[in-house]
Chain A
Amino acid sequence: MTSRKEKLIDKDFRELKKVFPKMNTKTINQANNAWLISGDIDIFDVNGDYWETYEIKIQVPFTYPHCVIGVQETSQKIERSEDRHIDNLGICCLDISHKLLAMKMKGVNLTDFTKSKIYPYFANQVFFDRTGKYAAGDYPHRFDGIRQFYSEELGIENEKEAIDLIQFILSKEKLGRNDLCFCGDKKFKDCHLANVEFLRSVGENQLRIDLAGFKNEL
């Protein structure tokens, strides 16, 4: 860990505290090579009405800003069950891994991440407590969730297309924007280019997991 990294996390921690003033403790978790930021997060609705406060720990790996930030709910206000997207230790599944990995590649900002991922997750938990459902639904667990993500977010409707796409990326073959797409359908830029660019940012490890899952489905 360099002093440059320390300066960055200190600066971003100060910014975080301006928006979430009760996220006020920062320690080092050497075992996990991460900083641990803990405190309370207050949940309000768009009308400015207060709903709930959760005590949480945010784990920020030393590789920050290129990292996947983890969150643990420690106030025990959320039932520990798969349907609540939280494990027995209170580790929260904020989003499908692919989106978090893509954010890691681009680099995250602690405050922006807390606003865009952590805060909505807990607002959604409040919503679930009152209504028994999530405001925009949730991903099915494990590989079913991945399949849904490929379908909904990438528009990939069958296993073969997914496998071809992932294998193309893993092959590291290069195609120009105006070349014919690897699927042979149309120009690359009008076909799978956007998906290829996104999935490249997810990283090979996740793609190999996805590939194995899709092959199993065939």
Chain B
Amino acid sequence: MSLYKSYYNTIQKAMTQGKMNESYSSFDGLTAKRMMYSELKSEIPENELLPELADLASQLGIVPNFNQSTGLHPHFESLKTSGDMEYHYIVSVFIDIKGSTNLFKKYDPSIVAAIQNTIQKAAIHTCLVFGGYIHRLHGDGLFVYFGGKGIDKKIAVQRAMQSTSLFTYFVKNDLKELFEEQGIERINTRIGIDLGHDDDVLWLLAGIGEISEVTTCSLHTSLASKMQTYAETNGIVVGDHIKDQVPLLNQFSSPVCNRTNNPNDRYIFEIPENNFRYTQHDFDWFNYLKTLPFIATAIDGKLAFKATNPVVYNNRSVQNLIPIAEKSKPYFNF
């Protein structure tokens, strides 16, 4: 997808460079590796978006916040100094990126680092474009919040679903192709998402002194993390609240137990004595993406980003329309 073209190109370059220098791991030590890593890292700017993602942010009417720091959601930062606590809804998203260990079989750690950094940057930038807040990085993965004060809960849910669906498409399609070309077992994602309503989510400062973060104490944050482990390869699992918040999502959801054929997988959490049962659902992110206004679907099922900035389309050739267009010979007889 053109949205991730630069990320794709950087990873491809890293793989090619890593292979070109088969003795790379031993040549000239740290200096050369530093240069290589730094060159690859600089291909994608950190604090600004490339034209494609900038175009998407503009279509969504979002100005990404590059000034955020982990562990300190800007809407709740006063809790860091006040030591107070506060109830407020949030959408919790856990993105696990699996399989990057396989890269060590082929590449020097400096190349692996460049590849991992680029994939993680793609994930971070995607979340920022949709107004997400990166709460924590763990390994290659991310823990992200969507929503906050003054943000409609429904919109927060939609943005969480859209950003994770887009990123999953990138990993499942673009990266798959690239990794297969290089003969590497591919990287994949597993994502868990849940919504905790105002009464369910307590915001507070956890930890001690500077070893601390403003975070949520919520069943639904915990469930999002747990549901991620139930997701299939490149899958997204969501809780009941997500589905209930945006009725449109119902047509793209089915209980996880339908896939696993294990009735025990239906509820991710239950308190039988209170008659509380909370269902986890597989989310059909691919078909959901096809319905989004900024996504176009080709006849072969591949998806593309509908950019408004013509720069994105610089490499197109009208000649490539001919094999399709020449099947039409219009007539006029009104």
Contact = CB atoms under 8 A, between A and B. Distances in A.
B325 interface: yes
A118 to B, nearest CB: 9
B274 interface: no
Contacts, number: 134
Contacts of B321: 45-46, 51, 123, 126-127, 130, 135
B330 A51 contact: no
B324 A119 contact: yes
A48 B322 contact: no
Contact of A127 (B296, B304, B315, B322): B322
A69 to B, nearest CB: 14
Closest 8 CB pairs of A and B: A85-B330, A45-B320, A135-B325, A42-B296, A120-B328, A50-B304, A136-B326, A21-B290
A143 to B, nearest CB: 9
Contacts of A121: 328, 330
B329 A134 contact: yes
B296 A95 contact: no
A49 B315 CA distance: 9
B287 A145 contact: no
Interface in B1-49: 2
A138 interface: yes
Interface of A: 19-22, 24, 42, 44-51, 53, 82, 85, 87, 91-97, 115-117, 119-121, 123-124, 126-127, 130-131, 134-139, 141-142, 145
A21 B330 contact: no
Nearest to B333: A142
A42 B297 contact: yes
Contact of B296 (A53, A92, A142): A53
| Interface of A: prevailing SS | mixed
B148 to A, nearest CB: 31
A117 B287 CA distance: 25
A93 B331 contact: yes
B328 A134 contact: yes
Contact of A50 (B298, B317, B330): B298
A37 B91 CA distance: 36
Interface of B: 2, 287, 290-291, 296-302, 304-306, 313, 315-318, 320-334
A201 to B, nearest CB: 18
A24 B288 CA distance: 13
B302 A127 contact: no
Contacts of B299: 19, 44, 115, 119
Contacts of B318: 45, 127, 130-131
10 contacts: A22-B290, A24-B291, A42-B304, A44-B298, A46-B320, A47-B317, A92-B330, A120-B327, A124-B325, A127-B318
B330 A95 contact: yes
Given A22-B290, A126-B325, A139 B304 contact: no
A136 B325 contact: yes
A120 B332 contact: no
Contacts of B334: 87, 91, 93
A92 B313 CA distance: 27
